[in-house]
Every structure is written in C-alpha cells, then in structure tokens.
Amino acid sequence: MSEIVSLLAVFPDIDPAAQAVDELRRCGLEDGDINVISGIPVTEAMLGRPRQWSNVPRLALGGAVAGFLIGMFFAFGTPTLYPIYVGGQPLYPGAPSVVVLFEMTMLGMLVATFLGVFLDSRFPSYRPKEYVPQISDGKVAILFRCPIEKQERAIQALFALGAESIQPAEAQVL
C-alpha cells in the first residue's frame, strides 16, 4: 500500500484552479481526494466537478408534509374533539382552515430545512481544519491527497498551470 500525502496548491484566480482540478483528474486522482478552498462561493459547474447531492430537499418536503398534517389536526381535529357551535357558523370554517394549513406547512418546511442544512454541513465541527491565510486575500487553494508516486507529476502539472505555491498540508485547530 502506497503512502498518501496531502498537498495544498495556491492559485491567483479561479480559472487556473479549474484547469488544475481537470489536470489532477488526468493524473489519476478521484474527485473525493480534491477539495477547492475559496473565499468566494464557487459552484461545481464552475470547476467542472460532479454535482454534490444533498438530503435537504427531501427533508424540506418531509417537514412540509408533517406541518400539513399538524395543520390538519389544528384545523379539523381540534373542532372534532371539542365541538363548539357558535351562531349558525360551520364547525369547520373554510378560510381560517386554509390559513392554518398554509402556515403550518410553511413552518414545518422551514424548520426541517434549517435542521437539514445544519446537519448536512456537519456543523459544528471540532476537528482540525486546513486554513490558508492567502484565501482571505482572494486566492483559490486546492487541497488534494495523492499517492507519493504521483506527487511529482501532480506538482509539475500544477506549477505549469500557474500555481503560486504547493506545500504539504497540515490540519490546524482554529
């Protein structure tokens, strides 16, 4: 089994970093071994990487369904359990029931979405993280793990694409 090294390459802009991701793939690295660190939001499409899938939409849909069911209970279950007839009005009023259903559906979806994003981002994380101060100055870094026999080829390819520095990465507690 070959030894794995973690390297950090710093680029001046997003374009050479995107080309570097492609070059690292050509060197035989998997997408799971490449991590782009940037101070600005960068989508997968900008880097030519596969789309990251998330469970947040499914959790939001589940929260909306749960909120709708709770709203159904409030709008129709409560008057059934405790019927109060007032001045010839129906036991299940239409317009107020729609408002309750809508509000509870949205509340359930919002709470589930918040929890989904919170859990999906693995927040809070107390593990040591890689940090590059140059990222605060607008640079883009690529953190990648490669076998030691592919290290020299990857370093040469990244310098040819305009990497400002490539150094071994070390996780630090922030």
Q: What is the CATH number of domain 4-52+127-168?
A: 3.30.70.120
Q: Where are the domains of the chain?
A: 4-52+127-168, 56-120
**Alpha-carbon gap, residue 66 to 80, rounded angstroms:** 20
Per-residue pLDDT of the chain (174 residues; tens, 9 = 90+): 568 888 888 988 888 888 888 888 888 888 888 888 888 887 777 777 777 788 899 999 999 999 999 999 999 999 999 998 888 888 898 899 999 999 999 999 999 999 999 888 777 777 766 667 777 778 888 888 888 888 888 888 888 888 888 888 776 555
Among residues 158, 118, 119, 117, the alpha carbon closest in space to that of 141 is found at: 158
Measure the CA dihedral 63/64/69/73, to 10°: 100
Looking at residue 172, its pLDDT comes to 59
CA distance 24 to 27: 5
Which distant-in-sequence residues (6+ apart) come within 8 Å of 136 by Cβ?
A: 39
Widest pairwise Cα distance in the chain? 86
pTM listed for this prediction: 0.62
Two structure tokens written together for 58: 């499914």
